Amino acid sequence: MGIEQHIDNRIVTTTLEKVVNWARKSSVWPATFGLACCAIEMICTAANRFDIARFGMEAFRASPRQADLMIVAGTVTWKMLPSVIRIYEQMPEPKWVIAMGSCTESGGIFRSYAVVQGINRYLPVDVYVPGCPPRPEALLFGIMKLHEKILKDPFLTKKYAHLEFPRATAAGKEGELK
Amino acid sequence: MSEQQTQAWLDELCAALPAGALLGRESFRGQHSLLVDPGLLVSVMKLLKDRGGFRYLADLTALDRLPREPRFLLVYHLWNHAERRLIRVKTEARGEPPTVLSVTALWTTANWHERECYDLFGVEFRGHPDLRRILTADGWVGHPLRKDYPTMGPPEVQNWVPPRYAPPAPAATPAGDEGAAS
């Protein structure tokens, strides 16, 4: 039938993109970073009852340079905003952002001069987890959604398509190979 | 300590104040307040600290009494550890911008208290060694705890873009111009 049968099912054929995306989503390391009460729920999510380690995410990195995911957990004040942006900028690509809680998403109950009315004005948010604060199950659901998004990330086929690598074709028109 | 004893102690303390310093005195439910002349604030405070034993400045804040004039009332809470007494000292901040004398020379903790008061109420403290904002973000406009400050802040606040990379500090900034910098 397929090549798998021919080689006795010891080898799986897939695409590089799928393998890399699977590896990325299987070990998304969050940055150790919490701002307010949502951070307590995030800590609960990391602890043994909800156990974020099931998804390879137990390694909360103290350095943003080793982190892939920024869970913005809590009220972002104007005073804190430069630090939030700086931590995001220090994270290496690829990186993702979860906006956790109402305050982070829209300012929440704090319609005031001191609070940023939505972190999406400054950071590219991938997943929004509403709640005040969201329960750990909600955060885990948001993380599942992020995993789905990572698995569908066309970083090889679409994201860099505009770079136009030289391709070898049967007619030999595009590339130099014949 | 009985109420009479406390009043006697307070009478003695008030009598020791410089002439003309005491503008008003109020006792309510065991709490004692003195309204003092802003020009004599430092000498009154020094006397309260040295002679009254109030070695601890528990709180320093302002009261916005819009539309009354003078608008801002400064409130100081002093605590005497040895005799376990609290006294409240009030004084008015006059002028534009409202200005009052600094008490940082008496209590070091007044440094940050006065910076906070300046940041949130816009009251200036003459004699403060380093009067700049302490709580609000860089480049803030206005004083948030004033009663005429909009709840969402002025448009400058909501449209504020944080400095991605801190610009190099200017060589010399004119004094009292920190609002325009950064």
As given in the structure block, the two tokens for residue B107 are 């209590």
pLDDT at B156: 74
Which amino acid does the sequence have at A143?
A: I
Contact A112 B151 (CB under 8 A): yes
What are the structural domain ranges in chain A?
A: 27-152
Crossing angle for the helix pair A136-151 and A16-26, to the nearest 10 degrees: 160
Which CATH number is associated with domain A27-152? 3.40.50.12280
| Cβ–Cβ below 8 Å for A78 and B163 | no
Residue with tokens 């307070």: B10
Q: How many angstroms separate the CA of residue A127 from the nearest CA in chain B?
A: 23
Q: How far is B146 from chain A (nearest CA, A)?
A: 12
Q: Is the pLDDT of residue A169 over 60?
A: no
**CA nearest to A130, candidates A170, A177, A98:** A98
User: CA-CA distance, A68 to A27, in Å (whole number)?
Assistant: 9
Find the residue in B nearest to A116 (Cα). B158
CA distances from B14 to A51, B1, B17, B31, B116 (A): 65, 19, 5, 15, 29
Domains of chain B: 11-158 (3.30.460.80)
Residue A117's closest chain B neighbor by CA? B158
Residue B13 CB contacts under 8 Å (≥ 6 apart), including other chains: B48, B51, B52
DSSP string, A47-87: STTT-GGGGT----BSSGGG-SEEEEES--BTTTHHHHHHH
Q: Check CB contact of A14 with chain B, cutoff 8 Å.
A: no
Burial per residue of B136-163, b for 16 or more beta-carbon CB atoms within 10 angstroms, e otherwise: bbebbbbbbbbeebeeebeeebeebebe
Contacts of A5 (CB under 8 A, 6+ apart): none
- Flag whether pLDDT at A178 surpasses 50: no
Name the token pair of A101: 């809680």
SS3 A149: helix
Nearest CA in chain B to A113: B152
Give the pLDDT confidence of A57-115 residue by residue, as tens digits: 989 999 999 999 999 999 999 889 888 998 999 999 889 999 999 999 998 899 888 89
Contact A89, A67 (CB under 8 A): no
CA distance A65 to chain B (A): 18
For residue B153, the 8-state DSSP code is -
Mutate to test the interface with B, among A75, A76, A78 (most CBs of B within 10 A): A78
d(CA B110, CA B130): 11
User: ipTM value of the model?
Assistant: 0.71
Query: Mean pLDDT for chain A?
Result: 86
Could you tell me the pTM of the whole model? 0.76
Give the chain A residue whose CA is nearest to the CA of B135: A79
For residues A10 and A50, is the Cβ–Cβ distance under 8 A? no
Residue B131 neighbours by CB distance under 10 Å: 22
Q: Whole-angstrom Cα distance, residue B58 to residue B80?
A: 10
> Tens-digit pLDDT profile for chain B (182 aa)?
678 888 888 888 888 888 888 898 888 988 999 999 999 999 999 999 998 889 999 999 999 998 888 899 999 999 999 989 999 999 999 988 899 999 999 999 999 999 999 999 999 999 999 898 999 887 788 899 999 998 888 887 777 666 554 545 556 555 555 444 44
Distances in whole angstroms, Cα of residue B137 to Cα of each of A84, B121, B143: 13, 15, 12
- At residue B79, the pLDDT reads 94
